[in-house]
Amino acid sequence: EPEVTQTPSHQVTQMGQEVILRCVPISNHLYFYWYRQILGQKVEFLVSFYNNEISEKSEIFDDQFSVERPDGSNFTLKIRSTKLEDSAMYFCASSKDRVEEQYFGPGTRLTVT
């Protein structure tokens, strides 16, 4: 069964550094998403992406964040200058249509020190 994959599974970085989290969505899906979950808290929506542009973004998704689909398979989330409060699990998801089932990846645990 096709699945969403994410790399790395765990990323440790120093405050102020740039990080890129990578995702490979399911191949015939058209909508891509990033979410985050701070330890012990609820999942939060960051951004959705369709047709090579952002379709929705939350208040969390400020100028420090950017997304890109650099080729036909990868979908990346870049955090330009990480802060301690960016430490969280970041989930990528994809779906065929925006109202259809979203498939989540296993997540990347980001630790900012």
Interaction site with other proteins (CB under 8 A): 4, 41-45, 48, 55-56, 58, 91, 93, 98-107
Identify which of residues 60 and 66 has a Cβ nearer to other proteins in the complex. Answer: 60
Which of 82, 84, 105 shows the shortest CA–CA distance to 32?
A: 105
Identify which of residues 42 and 71 has a Cβ nearer to other proteins in the complex. Answer: 42
Q: Give the shortest CB-57-to-other proteins separation in angstroms.
A: 9
Identify which of residues 105 and 112 has a Cβ nearer to other proteins in the complex. Answer: 105
State how far the Cα of 45 lies from the Cα of 57, in Å rounded to an integer. 8
Rounded to the nearest 5°, which phi and psi values hold at 51? 55, 40
Cα of 4 vs its chain's centroid, Å = 11
